Structure 1
Amino acid sequence: MHIFYGKAALTDYLKSIKTSNFTIGFVPTMGALHQGHLSLMQQSMQENQATVVSIFVNPTQFNNPEDLAKYPRTIDEDIQKMTDLSPEIILYAPTVEDIYEGQTVSQSFDFDGLENQMEGKFRPGHFNGVGTIVKRLFEIVEPTNAYFGEKDFQQLQIVKKMVAKNDLKVNVIGCPIYREPNKLAMSSRNTLLSPKEKEEASIIYKTLIEANSKFQKNSAAAVTNWVQKSFENNPDFKLEYFQIADEATLLPCLRKNKNKNYRAFIAVFVNNIRLIDTISLN
């Protein structure tokens, strides 16, 4: 397996293997890899001549220092999982210095309002950090295609907007959410849950499924009120937000329009572990 800890060595290697019509798939991650990440890599390998995976816990997208400190870091296990999947995967595992060159600050972006909803409301500066690191990684790797899971659907829309506004030559591909057997969306943070908490967290997906059913006959406001009351009756979980939004603009649904696609978004704390999920409502 090819492993690079510095961008200069990585770019030199990629230049050496590129030929005409050569495509590079890219899967950016923060490590603590799970089957969801591996499914993105599998799709990339099927669709490209080379696949690059980055592992970098990006400090500028954490507004909470405690969240950054406790984010799981399992580089040895991650390398083993990728090697088992394919020894042809190219890993880029940079240091903060290699990425930020002594200036660990976010660039400011205008995502046409996409950044002001949901995650943006509760995590100030988060999407400037996301935009900064993804743009930097795209400039280093120069991928043909980049793969992102739809669990972070707001992030996916923001990355697409950033690519369009900066005229970057990369195709951003959203991939289906990979779920645990109990339908909890796979996340690196799931490793921080106890077995009991992990099992009980299935309530998040069950709530989304029920919300979808109710939304077919009720208003977004009525469904939101039902979700909020459901979590008030469950003290083991703290609902941070639930929102039904237009998939394109991410603006809250105030009145249903049959010409729009809607999606439900949720963020829940389980013993101070923050979990998010989303499903299409169409």
Structure 2
Amino acid sequence: MLVVATIKELQNALYKHRQANKKIAVVPTMGNLHEGHLALVKTAQQHADIVVVTLFVNPTQFGANEDLDSYPRTFQDDCDKLDALNTSILFAPNIDEMYPLGGDQTTHVHVPNMTQVLCGASRPGHFDGVTTIVSKLFNITRADIAIFGEKDYQQLAVIRRMVNDLNIPIKIIGKPIVREPDGLAMSSRNGYLSEKERRIAPRLHQLLQTIKQEIIEGNHDLKSLESHAITDLIEAGFKPDYLQIYQRNELRPATENDKEIIILAAAFLGSTRLIDNIYVNRS
């Protein structure tokens, strides 16, 4: 595995592969890799000849009171995991390489409307940071394909909108959520959970499954389902951020006529913010 830290090094390496007509995939990450990330890499390898994994803890997507400084950084362990998968290239730049003028002074990419709801409502500016860094990585790599996890469903929807709106020539592939045996969605932040919190955490996914079953069985009172679920989360020990039932593709509140639905939730356990979602196809 080739490990590079500068844009010039990466582009020089990719130029040779591009000249040889190799298909290139990029997997953007912030490191602290787990099986969910590795599943993204394996998916990329199925679709491309050369897989570039990027590792960059992006400061512009963290809010003032969020966990930028404490976000887990496990570079050598990440390298070992990627090397074991025969990853082609790891791109691990520092902040000055990605934001030479500083994050506040760089051009930002903004996707309207769908970035103002859900996580965007409680994390102002977060998605501007995401779309800015992702667009930079797309331009740097000129990859043919990019792989993103569906756990961050709103992020995936926002990136798809950005690619479509800006005519970026890249195919976006979403990879289904990878879960622990008890159903908890894998996340780098799960390591923050105490033993007690870790026992409670799977309740979030269980609750989403319950709502899904209610909808499949014909319950059309979506607002009632949302409010009852919020109460259940509080009783289980969570501090809910949101739990909402949306139309999947347009990312707007679902109506009783919508067939493709997604139930999305974010909630705190202690200081740890967990997110999850589940699809519902209603006939």
How far apart in 2 are the matches of 1:266 and 1:107?
Answer: 31
Percentage of identical aligned residues:
37
Partner of 2:206: 206
2:240 partner SS: strand
Partner of 2:240: 239
Structure 2: which amino acid aligns with 1:231?
Answer: L
CA contact (8 A) 2:110 2:131 kept: no
CA contact (8 A) 2:150 2:177 kept: yes
2:245 partner SS: strand
Instruction: Please list every run of 5 or more consecutive structure 1 residues that lacks an aligned counterpart in the other structure.
Output: none
2:67 partner SS: helix
CA contact (8 A) 1:107 1:129 kept: no
Q: Deviations over 1:212-244 (max 9, x none)?
A: 11223221101101101112322x311111010
Partner of 2:169: 169
2:168 partner SS: coil
Structure 1: which amino acid aligns with 2:247?
Answer: D
Structure 1: which amino acid aligns with 2:138?
Answer: F
CA contact (8 A) 2:204 2:233 kept: no
Partner of 2:251: 250
Among 196, 219, 224, which residue is 1:222 paired with?
Answer: 224
Deviation at 1:151, TM superposition (A): 0.4
Deviation at 1:20, TM superposition (A): 4.9
| Correspondence 1:67-216 to 2 at 5 A | 67-86=67-86, 88-105=87-104, 107-216=107-216
How far apart in 2 are the matches of 1:107 and 1:247?
Answer: 30
CA contact (8 A) 1:27 1:52 kept: yes
Report the CA distance shift for 1:110/1:69 in structure 2 as closer, same or farther (over 3 A). closer
Cα RMSD (Å): 1.4
How far apart in 1 are the matches of 2:41 and 2:123?
Answer: 28
How far apart in 2 are the matches of 1:215 and 1:222?
Answer: 11
How far apart in 2 are the matches of 1:250 and 1:107?
Answer: 26
1:154 partner SS: helix
Tell me the TM-score normalized by structure 2.
Answer: 0.94
Matched, 1:43 2:37: no
Deviation at 1:64, TM superposition (A): 3.5
2:52 partner SS: strand
Q: Deviations over 1:149-189 (max 9, x none)?
A: 00011100100111111111110111110001111000000
Structure 2: which amino acid aligns with 1:257?
Answer: N
How far apart in 1 are the matches of 2:270 and 2:246?
Answer: 27
Deviation at 1:27, TM superposition (A): 0.3
How far apart in 2 are the matches of 1:107 and 1:198?
Answer: 40
CA contact (8 A) 1:109 1:131 kept: yes
How far apart in 2 are the matches of 1:99 and 1:30?
Answer: 13
How far apart in 1 are the matches of 2:248 and 2:131?
Answer: 19
Report the CA distance shift for 1:230/1:69 in structure 2 as closer, same or farther (over 3 A). same
Deviation at 1:112, TM superposition (A): 4.1
Greater Cα shift, 97-106 or 27-36 = 97-106
Q: Extract structure 1 runs of 4+ deviating beyond 3 A.
A: 106-110
Partner of 1:29: 29
2:244 partner SS: strand
How far apart in 2 are the matches of 1:164 and 1:76?
Answer: 36
Structure 2: which amino acid aligns with 1:261?
Answer: E
Tell me the TM-score normalized by structure 1.
Answer: 0.94
How far apart in 2 are the matches of 1:44 and 1:30?
Answer: 17
How far apart in 2 are the matches of 1:14 and 1:267?
Answer: 38
Q: Deviations over 1:16-66 (max 9, x none)?
A: 222354200110000000000001101111211100000000000011344
How far apart in 1 are the matches of 2:190 and 2:64?
Answer: 18
Structure 2: which amino acid aligns with 1:41?
Answer: V
Deviation at 1:94, TM superposition (A): 0.4
Deviation at 1:250, TM superposition (A): 1.2
